[in-house]
Structures are given as structure tokens and as C-alpha cells.
């Protein structure tokens, strides 16, 4: 037997590569790994092309058995990693013998782990990509206990001679991202725009691969849930233009402001069009940070 057998998927384990660009005009977004840097690193550690597919594990509690000898790496979130019950390092190529069991513990910083395997995860691609798009329902289904995941031919290159690469762990405290003024920045009052770029927001609990909702400044999410009312919420980001916006194309990183004044940062599985005005667009170089935010974690936007 060969491949990787899923024993426990944890809350959500998805196959992801760098996505399927080019289909937005027919209603399919790019999708792909949320923390692209972590997936790329995992592939580089194994001598794979950076675009090979890996497994994006949300939070942890993931367990799988290698049914063949192979090299693999775990990147992204941090926490406890066990191979056959023995502690192992992240961010490095590790050899697994057939029958060995990898256990990814609960993330202590960040929320998304990436498991990459030499040769890449080789499930059938859909429209040129192995990414699961959770909004469109395209690509390989979320992994379930018992799934046997085929692995690709290894690329023939030598494993890179790296024992250890210095990697910054996902931040546990305030995160600063860069953002450009959005196409509809002028739909908001100057004061609202300035507040957006200076206030400290918090990652909301309602966050997934489609987007991260942001809770208002100075209002931890547990309190906001208890006290949110339309009157309070409408004061969040004030609009200068109140007419309705015909639906327009969206991109990953676009910060949409819903009628209650709350911003949502769209991520890889976002709808291809949307009807809320975009106040800002997160710079691509800092977009990956949203993949690892934990609910309640502070976020500030700085002009790119």
C-alpha cells in the first residue's frame, strides 16, 4: 500500500495548493492555501515545486499514517508534533517509515498547519488545481477519517541540505498589516477612513476561508457580542455615500464594509463579486497573516 491514510482529520483538513486563477469571470475564485508562505516553505524543504499541494489543517487534532516511506514537513501554526509518539521538529524535512503515525497537536500560536509530503499530494486536480474551494464546493472534499491520499512521484531533485530554517512563528499579540486605499474609499467619511487606518481592530470569531470579520476597536469580541446593537454598530465605519453599490468584482484582501459598519477582510475562497463598498485592499505581501489570526487577536492596518 502507498499514500497517506487519514486517521483523524480534526475540525477541518483540506487539500490546498496555490489555487486556480483565471476562472473568476465564470464564478470561480482562486482559492488556494490561506498561508501561502507556509505551504511554499513546506514544499521547498522537500525539494518540491512551491505550487505542489499539501494539507491545510485547521487548529490541530489531525492524525495520519504513512503507508509508504517518505519525507514530509509541517509548517504554519506551532504546537506539538508527534511521530509515533515521539516529539518532532516543525519547519524541517522529516523521514517517515511506512506505518509511522503523525499527530498534529492543538495549535498554540496561529491556527493553520501545512503538511507537505515529498512529491506532493496527488489527488485529482479540478480546473488545474487541487485546492478545495469551500464557497464554490469545488476540488477535493474535506478529508475524512479513512481517506487514503495518493502521493506524487518525488521530483528527482535532492532534498535541500537544510537542517533548520529560521522561521518566525505566527504572532500571538498585535498584528500589523499593510493596505492600499480601496476602490470605494471615497464612499466613507474622511474621519472613518482615518479611523480605519489607525484603530486597533480585532479578529472576529466568525472567520473562515471566505473572510475574517473584524470586531470594533476597544471592544473585545466577548463584550461586543453581548452589547452589539444596531445603534452602536452603525457608528463603526461611517459612510459618506449611502446609495446602493451595484455588485462589483472582489479580490482576496479586499476589505468590504457591510451596512452595519463592520469590515470583513476577504480571503482565498471569497465570492467573485460583492455588493458592499471596499474601503481598503490588504497588500498581497501581508495577506498571509490573516490565515493565522486567532479570534480576538488585534489587527492594525497601515498605509502600504
Partner 1 sequence: MTRRILPLGDHALLVELDDLDAVLGLFRGLDATRPEGVVDLVPAARTIAVLVEPRILPLSSARSWVERTVPLDVDATHERLVELEVAYDGEDLAEAARLTGRTPAELVAFHTDSTWRVAFGGFSPGFAYLATDRPLDVPRRDTPRTAVPPGSVGLAGAFSGVYPRSSPGGWQLIGRTHAVLWDETADPPALLRPGTVVRFREAL
Residue 125 class from Cβ within 10 Å (0-12 exposed, 13-18 middle, 19+ buried)? middle
**Residues 174-193: x where in contact with partner 1 by CB under 8 A, - otherwise, as a string:** ------xxxxx---------
Question: Helix, strand or coil for residue 202?
Answer: strand
Q: Are 14 and 55 in contact (CB under 8 A)?
A: yes
Measured from the CB atom, is 171 or 251 closer to partner 1? 251
Among 251, 258, 294, 295, binds partner 1 (CB under 8 A): 251
- Count of residues that bind partner 1 according to CB under 8 A: 34
- What is the residue-wise DSSP string for 89-128? -SSS-EEE-TT-EEEEEEEEEEEEEEEEETT-B-PPPBTT
C-alpha grid cell, residue 141: 472534499
Among 93, 117, 272, 289, binds partner 1 (CB under 8 A): 272
Measured from the CB atom, is 17 or 67 closer to partner 1? 17
- Interface with partner 1, residue 51, by CB under 8 A: no
Among 5, 8, 21, 134, binds partner 1 (CB under 8 A): 21
Measured from the CB atom, is 79 or 142 closer to partner 1? 142
Beta bridge partners of 212: 207, 265
Among 206, 273, 296, 302, binds partner 1 (CB under 8 A): 273
- Interface with partner 1, residue 249, by CB under 8 A: yes
- Which value, in Å, is the radius of gyration of the alpha carbons in the chain? 20
Residue 21 class from Cβ within 10 Å (0-12 exposed, 13-18 middle, 19+ buried)? middle
Q: What is the C-alpha separation between 211 and 267, in angstroms, rounded?
A: 5
Q: Are 157 and 230 in contact (CB under 8 A)?
A: no
**Min CB(183)–partner 1 separation in Å:** 4
- Interface with partner 1, residue 49, by CB under 8 A: no
Q: What is the C-alpha separation between 90 and 80, in angstroms, rounded?
A: 9
Q: What is the C-alpha separation between 58 and 68, in angstroms, rounded?
A: 25
**Min CB(181)–partner 1 separation in Å:** 6
Interface segment toward partner 1; rule CB under 8 A; list 55-63, 207-215, 257-265, 273-281: 273-281
Span 72-131, contacts to partner 1 by CB under 8 A: 126-127
Interface segment toward partner 1; rule CB under 8 A; list 73-81, 149-157, 167-175, 268-276: 268-276
**Min CB(136)–partner 1 separation in Å:** 5
Beta bridge partners of 55: 15, 115
Measured from the CB atom, is 92 or 283 closer to partner 1? 283
Q: What is the C-alpha separation between 131 and 258, in angstroms, rounded?
A: 28
- Interface with partner 1, residue 13, by CB under 8 A: no
- Interface with partner 1, residue 240, by CB under 8 A: no
Measured from the CB atom, is 83 or 278 closer to partner 1? 278
Q: Are 292 and 197 in contact (CB under 8 A)?
A: no
Measured from the CB atom, is 69 or 190 closer to partner 1? 190
- Interface with partner 1, residue 284, by CB under 8 A: yes
Q: What is the C-alpha separation between 255 and 265, in angstroms, rounded?
A: 4
Residues that bind partner 1 (CB under 8 A): 21-28, 126-127, 136, 138, 180-184, 246-249, 251, 253-254, 271-273, 278, 281-285, 304
Amino acid at each position: 500500500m502507498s499514500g497517506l491514510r487519514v486517521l483523524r482529520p480534526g475540525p477541518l483538513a483540506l487539500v490546498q495548493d496555490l489555487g486556480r486563477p483565471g476562472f473568476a469571470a465564470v464564478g470561480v475564485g482562486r482559492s488556494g492555501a490561506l498561508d501561502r508562505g507556509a505551504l511554499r516553505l513546506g514544499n521547498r524543504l522537500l525539494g518540491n515545486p512551491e505550487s505542489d499541494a499539501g494539507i491545510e489543517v485547521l487548529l490541530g487534532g489531525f492524525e495520519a499514517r504513512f503507508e509508504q516511506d517518505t519525507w514530509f514537513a509541517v509548517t504554519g501554526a506551532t504546537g506539538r508534533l508527534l511521530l509515533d509518539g515521539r516529539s518532532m521538529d516543525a519547519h524541517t524535512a522529516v523521514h517517515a517509515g511506512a506505518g509511522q503515525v503523525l499527530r498534529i497537536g492543538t495549535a498554540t500560536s496561529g491556527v493553520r498547519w501545512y503538511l507537505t509530503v515529498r512529491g506532493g499530494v496527488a489527488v485529482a486536480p479540478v480546473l488545474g488545481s487541487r485546492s478545495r474551494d469551500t464557497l464554490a464546493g469545488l476540488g477535493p472534499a474535506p478529508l475524512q477519517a479513512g481517506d487514503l491520499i495518493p502521493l506524487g512521484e518525488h521530483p528527482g531533485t535532492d532534498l535541500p541540505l537544510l537542517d533548520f530554517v529560521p522561521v518566525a512563528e505566527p504572532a500571538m499579540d498585535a498584528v500589523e498589516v499593510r493596505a492600499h486605499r480601496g476602490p470605494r474609499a471615497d464612499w466613507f467619511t474622511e474621519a472613518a477612513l482615518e479611523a480605519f487606518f489607525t484603530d486597533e481592530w480585532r479578529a472576529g470569531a466568525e472567520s473562515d476561508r471566505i473572510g475574517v470579520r473584524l470586531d470594533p476597536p476597544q471592544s473585545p469580541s466577548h463584550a461586543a457580542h453581548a452589547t452589539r446593537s444596531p445603534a452602536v454598530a452603525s457608528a463603526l465605519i461611517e459612510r459618506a455615500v449611502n446609495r446602493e453599490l451595484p455588485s462589483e468584482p472582489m479580490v482576496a484582501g479586499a476589505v468590504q464594509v457591510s451596512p452595519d459598519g463592520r469590515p470583513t477582510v476577504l480571503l482565498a475562497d471569497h465570492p467573485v463579486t460583492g455588493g458592499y463598498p471596499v474601503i481598503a485592499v490588504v497588500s498581497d505581501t501581508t495577506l498571509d497573516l490573516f490565515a493565522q489570526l486567532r479570534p480576538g487577536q488585534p489587527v492594525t492596518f497601515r498605509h502600504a
